[in-house]
Structure 1
Amino acid sequence: MQLLLILTFLFNFNLSQSDSIVSGPFVGAVTSNSAEFIIKTLDSEANVKIELSEQKDFNKSVNTPDYKSESGNFNFVKPQIKNLKPNTTYYYRAIINGSASSVINSFKTFPESGNYSFSFGFGSCQQSHYNKSKPEIFKIISQDSLRFFIQIGDWGYPDTTEKKYGYRFFTKKDLIAGSYETKYTRSYPFADLVLSKMPVAYLYDDHDFGYNNSDGSDPSKQNSIEGYNLYFPHYELANPENGIWQKFKFGDVEFFLIDTRTQRNPNKDVLNEQGNYFPKKNHSILAGYPISGEDQKTWLKKSLKESNAKWKVIVSPVMFNPAYREILKDTLIVNTFERIKLDIIDKWSGFEEEQNEIIDFVKSNGIKNLIILSGDSHSAYIDDGENSVFPEFGSSVLDVNNTKVTQRSKLAGYTLFNQGGYDGDGRCYGKVSFVYGEEDYCLMEIIEDTGKVILSYKLNLK
């Protein structure tokens, strides 16, 4: 009887430790020597730290400082650690109130610098029909040789799942916190299979920022900015009070993550009284409002000009391709399909003056080897720069239905992406590889949920 009581006690003790974590831990903001984690505990006032080791048995481990979960932050904690070794695999687990979690994840720090060949994955638009779709794509992603994953927005659609609040989840701080808990739930394979094996970078788009085609005119945007700061392990924000734009570097590739919602002017401002497209002066997707500190457009220009990286990657939650704007001139299409018109002006195509300003800046300053990654469109596509000016690779079919942008635009007489796109009925992600050797190049691949490479394009370094 005494033995049974002891075993029962030990079982319940271990179970309570397992149940003391609601979400995480997962890792982001990884550099060559540092990382940041996100974890949510069941109870407030819990003592939290992350233990790391180069060995899975955690022999010779290191720890983050101790943190305490607080009810005011809905028990989310963001432990940080420095002085890690570059280009090294670390296993990590949470220590809650002195007891180690049984959940062990891993990641690899970045190389210090230089011509280092690597691959990463990216995509957007997932969990719109939570627990209804069959996202086999995440198993394929987890089996790939990726160093990190960039989620480019619509990581969940809380504006549609919280209908009782009039699609305005971002007016409630508890709902914002809940949307991040949903992102990290291990019952969904993105967290369980992908985030457990690699770092993640993330930018919100419209549905996880506010509502469909949302902009920066709504004062509740401050809640979305605050939520991102509190509940996601991001890189240093250039202006944390006013948006989430940031940058990071891996080897000789620098990434510029832009915020296309927080400081955006309303899309409808470029429509005249008849509802037709009429370009408006100073209409901005990057810097539409007076703010304290440096605005995003100034930051982006300065960062691109000062970068010494061989490759430069702008990560944009929405499509950049200016050729999309040509469809606005097709009165038959835009007058027949109102939704297409509203979609076009929600992309960079609706911000003609500012888009041309960025294009002219890049060209006049001799900035080379610039690539744009984009999401939002529920499609996947590649253009070598013939239509998009700069090579653009979009992928946003992680677990939503494919809108088949390239196929449908061709049927309407328009070629938006000259290298093609994904026109299947499955799901896909984007894989980008930077390769250094006898020739230096970037390889872009659209990979389907069968594991098949649907489309690839090789871009040589200039």
Structure 2
Amino acid sequence: MTVRRRTVLGAAGAAIVGSSAVSALHASGSSAAAPFAHGVASGDPLPTGILLWTRVTPTPESQPGSGLGPIVVVGWQLASDAAFVNVVAAGTVTTGPSEDHTVKVDVRGLQPTTTYWYRFLLNGTASSTGRTRTAPAATMSVDHLRFGVVSCSNWEAGYFSSYRHLAQRGDLDLIIHLGDYIYEYGTGEYANRGRPVRLCKPPNEVVTLADYRTRHAQYKTDPDAQLLHATVPWVMVWDDHEFSNDAWAGGAQNHTPATEGPWAQRSAAARQAYAEWMPVRLDAAGQIYRRLQFGTLADLTMLDLRSYRSQQASGTATDDPTRTITGDAQMSWLKSGLTSSTASWKLIGNSVMISRLDVGSLPAWLLGPIAKLLGIPSNGLAYNIDQWDGYNADRDELVDYLRGNQIDNVVFLTGDIHSSWASELTTRNTALAPTAVEFVIPSVTSDNIDDILDVRPGSISPYLVDLIRASNWHIKWAELDRHGFGVLDIRPDRCQMDWYFVADRRDPESTARLAASWKVVDGLARVRQA
């Protein structure tokens, strides 16, 4: 997104009267008031920088997606205290209909590992106050990090109480969102067993730029989303539903060119709206895959597994070395970054499951030559070809690279499949010697097994888990029915995921409980129950 701006660093604007401190936002949990009805957010923390975001509604006609309203100048302030007595950076940003009145400010020149408060101002009115924090310096010795991990937040399927529980913790350095922040479907098409809890806007499937902007705007009115955005910085990446279901480089399962126009046009609209409405850095070419470092303890690589992937295919085509899920440039960048990393833990934000999921009584790789005769893919019959299972060559290349270069302490963080898993990463060549681990977190609200089958939670899924584990020795734990979030606790000697499940996604005041904890220890790619 191109933003016209003029920035003044220093204490300029400190005398402007602001909103209440972030503690008030915590206490109320309420949505922001006009003209800042969509709240505030921060993201992509660097040791000396942070990205700030908001959206303004300067006039009644300046509604999201309308293309209407005036060009306005929005002020911003960043302070070292919640009362804004010590404003350390301030400036202005010009925005208007061409940016859907969104504002993004990439503030630099800050101090590492420092908490800051920020706000925006328009015509004397201040936004809610946000709190954020910069990352540790690359060479800084860090002994503890704690990240919240979420994915698959479908508006119509329920309320985002997971966000509220994460915001109220007060002990998180970061939120990682692994994709499907919004859903593109029309009303009733994909929510709570076809029975929407709350209706989406627009009611139709989103296709145009105005549609995507309107849908993003609605999600930003959720009070729990506003609370979590204002409390802690986010690192985000898209998956398919920010575009359309099962998207690939040239199309999507849920896209019909004859009635919905060229895919390139729809994809461009989705990307523009995402860039406008998310606190995320994209480069000039719109590239979203990136890497952030958090001292010597961890670095975080966020992958884009939709923009460059080949179309989904089944059967032995999943072994085709010409097909890719990452694209050649991103794969080369990923491997290079893993080699050069000096961090104790290499975290990979990975939107779709990379661990094998074989079906049948035996994994296909054990069948040897018979598998070839039968036309079975070398890594097993794929249950979900939209995952890495549909792109065996890329997975083999990455796993072989990890083994060949003796790269350890790699942890994949995954969303997408609306369920919870703790697994070890193996291929046909590494069945007894895993090279990494994977933690898959549940959906915030999107339908899972019991929702799809319309049965009581726990009535069928435990039997399915038993069947899955019988053919997948590398899968150590799975839970297929619950909604919630993960908390990743990172220390030099181990990396642990705690899974929290909400009691009822349809209840905006739902409670949450700690359900399971699995960890991987330094130097050993095995998951253990914690």
- Which TM-score applies when normalising by structure 2? 0.71
Query: Superposition RMSD on alpha carbons, in Å?
Result: 3.0
Contact 1:382 / 1:419 at 8 angstroms: preserved in 2?
yes
Correspondent of 1:175 among 211, 231, 238 = 211
Paired amino acid for 1:196: A
Question: 1:42 maps to what in 2?
Answer: 57
Correspondent of 2:477 among 410, 420, 424 = 420
Instruction: Single out whichever of 248-257 and 408-417 deviates more from structure 2.
Output: 408-417
Contact 2:357 / 2:382 at 8 angstroms: preserved in 1?
no
Question: 1:11 maps to what in 2?
Answer: none
Question: 1:454 maps to what in 2?
Answer: 515
Q: Return the offset for 1:393.
A: 0.2
Deviation per CA, 1:4-29: give whole Å up to 9, x if none.
xxxxxxxxxxxxx9422232321112
Tell me, in whole angstroms, the C-alpha distance in 1 between the residues paired with 2:226 and 2:318. 46
Q: Return the offset for 1:349.
A: 0.4
- Equivalent runs, 1:3-402 vs 2, <5 Å: 18-43=33-58, 44-97=70-123, 99-112=124-137, 113-129=140-156, 133-144=158-169, 145-161=171-187, 169-170=206-207, 172-185=208-221, 187-189=222-224, 191-209=225-243, 211-218=244-251, 219=264, 220-235=266-281, 237=283, 240-241=284-285, 243-252=287-296, 253-268=298-313, 270-271=314-315, 279-287=319-327, 295-324=329-358, 344-385=384-425, 389-402=435-448
Paired amino acid for 2:384: I
Ranges of 4+ aligned residues in structure 1 off by more than 6 Å: 162-168, 325-328
Paired amino acid for 2:228: V
Q: Return the offset for 1:193.
A: 2.6
> Matched residues, percent identical?
21
1:431 and 2:487 are equivalent in the alignment? yes
Question: 2:378 maps to what in 1?
Answer: none
Paired amino acid for 2:412: I
Contact 2:465 / 2:479 at 8 angstroms: preserved in 1?
no
Tell me, in whole angstroms, the C-alpha distance in 2 between the residues paired with 1:84 and 1:244. 23
Instruction: Indicate how the Cα distance of structure 1 residues 19 and 278 shifts in structure 2: closer, same or farther if over 3 A, else same.
Output: closer
Tell me, in whole angstroms, the C-alpha distance in 1 between the residues paired with 2:90 and 2:463. 50
Q: Return the offset for 1:168.
A: 6.3
Unaligned 5+ runs, structure 2: 1-31, 59-69, 190-200, 252-263, 372-380, 451-460, 503-510, 524-530
Contact 2:144 / 2:489 at 8 angstroms: preserved in 1?
yes
Question: 2:467 maps to what in 1?
Answer: 411
Contact 1:169 / 1:175 at 8 angstroms: preserved in 2?
yes
Tell me, in whole angstroms, the C-alpha distance in 1 between the residues paired with 2:324 and 2:462. 26
- Which TM-score applies when normalising by structure 1? 0.81
Contact 1:385 / 1:392 at 8 angstroms: preserved in 2?
yes
Instruction: Indicate how the Cα distance of structure 1 residues 18 and 369 shifts in structure 2: closer, same or farther if over 3 A, else same.
Output: same
Unaligned 5+ runs, structure 1: 1-16, 289-294, 332-340
Deviation per CA, 1:377-428: give whole Å up to 9, x if none.
01011124467742000013211233377752423543466331335x5422
Tell me, in whole angstroms, the C-alpha distance in 2 between the residues paired with 1:430 and 1:154. 16
Deviation per CA, 1:135-183: give whole Å up to 9, x if none.
432222122221111111111212345989998634x222222232233
May I ask how many residue pairs the two structures share in their alignment? 413
Instruction: Indicate how the Cα distance of structure 1 residues 300 and 65 shifts in structure 2: closer, same or farther if over 3 A, else same.
Output: same
Contact 2:172 / 2:232 at 8 angstroms: preserved in 1?
yes
Paired amino acid for 1:381: W
Instruction: Indicate how the Cα distance of structure 1 residues 115 and 165 shifts in structure 2: closer, same or farther if over 3 A, else same.
Output: closer
Tell me, in whole angstroms, the C-alpha distance in 2 between the residues paired with 1:174 and 1:162. 20
Instruction: Indicate how the Cα distance of structure 1 residues 59 and 166 shifts in structure 2: closer, same or farther if over 3 A, else same.
Output: closer
Residue 91 of structure 2 aligns to a residue whose secondary structure is coil
Paired amino acid for 2:303: I
Paired amino acid for 2:484: C
Question: 1:5 maps to what in 2?
Answer: none
Instruction: Single out whichever of 252-261 and 24-33 deviates more from structure 2.
Output: 24-33
Instruction: Indicate how the Cα distance of structure 1 residues 53 and 166 shifts in structure 2: closer, same or farther if over 3 A, else same.
Output: closer
Residue 353 of structure 1 aligns to a residue whose secondary structure is helix
Residue 378 of structure 1 aligns to a residue whose secondary structure is coil
Tell me, in whole angstroms, the C-alpha distance in 2 between the residues paired with 1:162 and 1:32. 44
Residue 110 of structure 2 aligns to a residue whose secondary structure is coil
Q: Return the offset for 1:70.
A: 1.7
Paired amino acid for 1:443: Q
Paired amino acid for 2:405: N
Q: Which has the higher helix share?
A: 1
